[in-house]
Amino acid sequence: MTDSEDMARQPEQEPFQDVRKLIENIQKACPEGDCIFRGEPRDYGEVSSGIYRLGQRLEVENSDSFRPVDIERMYVEKARGPGHYSPGTSNAEILTDLRHYGGSTTLIDFSHSMFAALFFACNSEPDKTDKTDEPDKTDKDGRLIILPTKGIRTLTEIDYSKDRKKEHDLDLSRASLTEIDYSKDWKKIALLAPARTQHSRARVDVQSSVFVHAPEGFIGKSTFTSIKIPWGLKTECKIYLQRYHNIHEQTVYNDLIGYIENEKTYQEAMVYLSRGLAKGRGSDGEDISGQ
């Protein structure tokens, strides 16, 4: 038997074998009980909210004198002011819309769907440290955050009216609350279901969204597990997700705001591509300004 015949008899590798192995590893990392997931295109260290990261950029220490939840409260109050919302609109509805439009809050986006989170872990953003004329590199490992929900409170509304200086004991045995009183336990995370507003409902459904409300601005590292998503596997993962789960850019970003948000990922690469095409046309002696 020749070498070529021997190679022909060898079984072909199962399609998406590496992706399926990755998914299997994610499933094994989930403890017993329910989990929620978050995908990040690179390892950012802390799992944090937009307001917390704003404080970091301004080099403000996260202490009792600077609490992200206080900034969020003022943000929500300002959103109510111009008459954008009726008096009966809940804080949860306003927060959902603020997140939908990219506003900074103490909410951290998660998903009930492992596959939706995997998409976000693979939807790489440009590497802005590369200052060359080449398209920005996206060769960064992503990560998938696994957060067990056992023992985490579930909220239906956020109440900013409580005096946070009052000290009360919090019965941690309660599995569900209708509101959170920051005077009792403002440092503890809680789950908040996104409100189904006219702006957010489509994306909430497709992404199986759930928020983690983190008044302190971040989730403690001992609370979650993370799985590395190798950058070399990202493209194959996205093909797999589209083929078997109908998860891709057009379904995940299924509204105008989502489309604009997604396109930010590719804008710099498109600029470099257009520059390259222009240089190519110029080198061929073509009139770039017109035919």
Residue 219, φ and ψ in degrees, nearest 5: -105, 130
For residue 256, the enclosing domain spans 34-164+174-277
**In this model, does residue 167 exceed pLDDT 70?**
no
- Position 20 in a domain: no
- Position 6 in a domain: no
- Position 112 in a domain: yes
- Position 240 in a domain: yes
b/e for 172-194, b at 16 or more Cβ within 10 A? eeeeebeebbbebbbebbbbbeb
Rounded Cα distance between 228 and 143, Å, is 4
For residue 67, the model assigns a pLDDT of 81
pTM higher than 0.85 for the full model? no
b/e for 233-247, b at 16 or more Cβ within 10 A? bbebbbebbeeeeeb
- Confidence grade of residue 258 (pLDDT, cut at 50, 70, 90): low
- Confidence grade of residue 245 (pLDDT, cut at 50, 70, 90): very high
β-strand partners of 75 = none
Q: Of the ranges 42-46, 106-110, 215-219, 268-272, which one carries the lowest mean pLDDT score?
A: 268-272
For residue 96, the model assigns a pLDDT of 86
**In this model, does residue 8 exceed pLDDT 60?**
no
Provide the number of structural domains found in the chain.
Answer: 1
- Position 287 in a domain: no
**In this model, does residue 98 exceed pLDDT 50?**
yes
**Residue percentage of the chain with pLDDT more than 90:** 32
For residue 219, the model assigns a pLDDT of 92
**In this model, does residue 86 exceed pLDDT 50?**
yes
- Position 2 in a domain: no
Average confidence score pLDDT of the chain = 77
- Position 15 in a domain: no
Rounded Cα distance between 150 and 142, Å, is 25
**In this model, does residue 119 exceed pLDDT 80?**
yes
- Position 233 in a domain: yes
Q: Do residues 178 and 155 touch, judged by C-beta distance below 8 A?
A: yes
Q: What is the 3-state secondary structure (H, E, C) of the chain?
A: CCHHHHHHHCCCCCCCHHHHHHHHHHHHHCCCCCEEEEEECCCCCCEECHHHHHHHHCCCCCCCCCCHHHHHHHHHHHHHCCCCCCCCCCHHHHHHHHHHCCCCCCEEEEECCHHHHHHHHHCCCCCCCCCCCCCCCCCCCEEEEEEECCCCEEECCCCCCCCCCCCCCCCCCCCECCCCCHHHHCCCCEEECCCCCCCCHHHHHHHCEEEEECCCCEECHHHCEEEEECHHHHHHHHHHHHHHHCCCHHHHCCCHHHHHHHHHHHHHHHHHHHHHHHHHHHHCCCCCCCC
Q: Give mean pLDDT, residues 52-66.
A: 78
